[in-house]
Amino acid sequence: MSVRTQQGSAPEDRTEDRPDPVELASRRPGTRGAVDVRTLTRILFERLAELPADAPERARVRSALIEINIPLVRYAATRFRSRSEPMEDIVQVGTIGLINAIDRFDPERGVQFPTYALPTILGEIKRYFRDNVRTMHVPRRLQELWVQVSGAMEELTVTHGRVPKVPEIAANLRIPEEDVRACLDAGRAYNAASLEAAQEHEGGLALLDRLGYEDSALTDVEHRDMVRHLLVQLPERERRIIMLRFFANLTQSQISTELGMSQMHVSRLLSRILSRLRTGNSWEE
């Protein structure tokens, strides 16, 4: 015996079976079923647009949007993993950018939310490194230009499949190569290293141990400066005798031949000159 369905009856309402998008967002990624993050984000933004500005549920929907899009923040943070800052700190800063993107996003523009949010997240992280992390002062112009240079480097790396050269970056941004080199140096100037800190890649030697050497003639700098000051006060003939004896390394006999005077006279003049120089007195005829 067959059972006929009564015509004209209202279709069964299955709204109760439809999962709440906020509840879906709170689940772990592996338990959200067939609803992907992009679809869930779109649904949540639609729900957010329907709610009045003072509706208590807005906070729940907004929190759900933040929670399901945290992986986007972590993806953006990996671009800065070579920096000395802890990754969790970078993620926290990027989350601020995510929140700003959620508050400003307009679904009616037809742009996918990740496409809109990623530049905002990256911008917030870059501002953090620019304004808060540096222990070395870098001119503001170079800090702002570094953002453009780093962006061009990422773009050219994807295009060419290798790290771009300075002329390529300069041509892409239409700026002088000198500015690119200055930006690259500024981009690395985030932390000052202690001269006494041991360097692991240098066998434990401190940076101070590898810089320069002790100049044995350093203590004579003041003496040389004083002698130079006294030499300029000598008459030309006496100054020439000193130059020939101590700078040209000529003997008294050679000096006497050079100047056309006796060796004895040269010896007396040298004694007088050296005596004056030792006492620091100016020369008097």
Tens digit of pLDDT at every position of the chain (285 positions): 444 444 444 444 444 455 565 665 555 555 454 458 888 888 899 888 888 888 888 899 999 999 999 999 999 999 888 776 788 889 999 999 999 999 999 888 888 899 889 999 998 888 887 766 555 566 777 767 877 887 888 788 878 888 889 999 999 999 999 989 988 877 666 555 666 665 555 555 666 666 666 777 777 777 777 777 777 888 888 888 888 888 888 999 999 998 888 989 889 988 888 887 777 654 444
Res 129: pLDDT = 77
Task: Read off the pTM.
Answer: 0.43
Q: Say how many CA atoms lie within 13 Å of 90 toward its Cβ.
A: 23
Q: Which amino acid is at 224?
A: R
Tokens 């003072």 -> residue:
54
Res 26: pLDDT = 57
Res 1: pLDDT = 42
Res 167: pLDDT = 93
What is d(CA 96, CA 162) in angstroms, rounded to the nearest whole number?
Answer: 32
Q: And the tokens for 121? A: 């997240």
Res 101: pLDDT = 92
What is d(CA 14, CA 283) in angstroms, rounded to the nearest whole number?
Answer: 114
For helices 263-279 and 252-259, angle between their N-to-C axes, nearest 10 degrees: 110
* Residue 54, φ and ψ in degrees, nearest 5: -100, 10
Res 148: pLDDT = 84
The answer to whether 68 touches 40, Cβ cutoff 8 Å, is: yes
Res 86: pLDDT = 83
In this structure, the chain runs to a length of: 285
Question: Among candidates 44, 6, 12, which has minimal Cα distance to 25?
Answer: 44
